Amino acid sequence: MNASGVPIVSWSGTYPCASPEERMARFIADNAGDDVYDTLAAQRAYRQAIEQALPSGFRLAPGNVFYGPTDGTQNIDGVWQTPSFHSLVYLHEAAIDAAVDGPPEGYPDDDYRGQGHLRRIAEPFRITEGTTSILYATWQQIGGEQSVETTVSAALSVFGRRCAEQLADSGRYDLETLGRAVSGGFGTADRSRDVAAAYREAINEALPNGITLKGDDFYGPRPRRAIDLKEAVKSLNLERIIVRCTVGEPRELWSADQVADAIGAASASSARRTLSRWGVKAVQRRETDSGRIQALYDAARVRAEHASRPGRGHRSDLRD
């Protein structure tokens, strides 16, 4: 069985609406009266409540499908069922209903089938005179992933596969890390956190005044303003942030001719001998237009060695 379970039933196959969000919106529309609610925040809270209430091994996927274990069943002609021909829906309906509708205890009879549960979840999001900030959008709506961190993790994997040579040229990674990068496994937990933190900071800087990304939600002032949050996020280049956090600023590389000009050597050959004496090795080799293999040296390292060479700063006009 897949570690994330198998499909049990879609939301619309069990409840007379398309999603948890639609159910909460309908409840608020039918029951709010003169009150006003931050409906989007209540919808998010309802989905989170369902996800948290599902037993271990179950989940509600973004496509509004419940997944769960196949324990006690077998796949017969593409259908998971018990030896008594009971389906996964039959086996797990009670667990799913309990997560969706909440416990039946403590609610009046007319509140059964989740009315009281929905009321309890929605109540904290009733808008009062003191309400200044409301939910504008979730990260999933804007970024397409469950969280900023999952977006960053996926981007790191893509970057690692595509830019392994750039990672190698940075000199910051061992062969094991580079090997994982090539196969799409780039980015330790610490590295992902660093990139996600930098990405969050860039997002908040790019957002219009008054709009803030908190956790995986965008909050802004009430009354709601018409703002294109997707455009604000899309304006950012996540790969540049990844490069800055994982590679650092691009290294300036010099050929032996450029080294000779910088250190005052008579020729490229003389420069190479000096670099060898300083212990400076080529960090990259590339083929020129003429087909010759050219060694390239880290310009910052060359500058540092040149600045600290013996006799640097000696003044011949001073005598004891």
Within 8 A by CB and 6+ apart from 31, the residues are: 115, 119
The Cβ of residue 135 has, within 10 Å, a number of other Cβ atoms equal to 20
| Structure-block tokens of residue 159 | 């970057």
Helices 39-53 and 88-101 pack at an angle, to 10 degrees, of: 130
pTM above 0.85, yes or no: no
pLDDT of residue 104: 67
**Tens place of pLDDT per residue across the chain (320 aa):** 444 689 999 999 888 899 999 999 999 999 999 999 999 999 999 999 999 999 999 999 888 999 999 888 888 888 888 888 888 988 899 999 999 998 766 555 555 567 889 999 999 999 998 888 999 999 988 998 889 999 999 999 999 999 888 888 777 788 888 888 898 888 878 888 999 999 999 999 999 999 999 999 999 998 888 889 999 999 999 999 999 888 876 667 899 999 999 999 999 999 999 999 999 998 878 888 888 899 999 888 899 899 888 765 544 443 33
Give the CA distances from residue 225 to residues 136, 228, 266, in Å, rounded to whole numbers and listed in that order: 9, 10, 67
How far is Cα 193 from Cα 191, in angstroms, rounded to an integer? 5
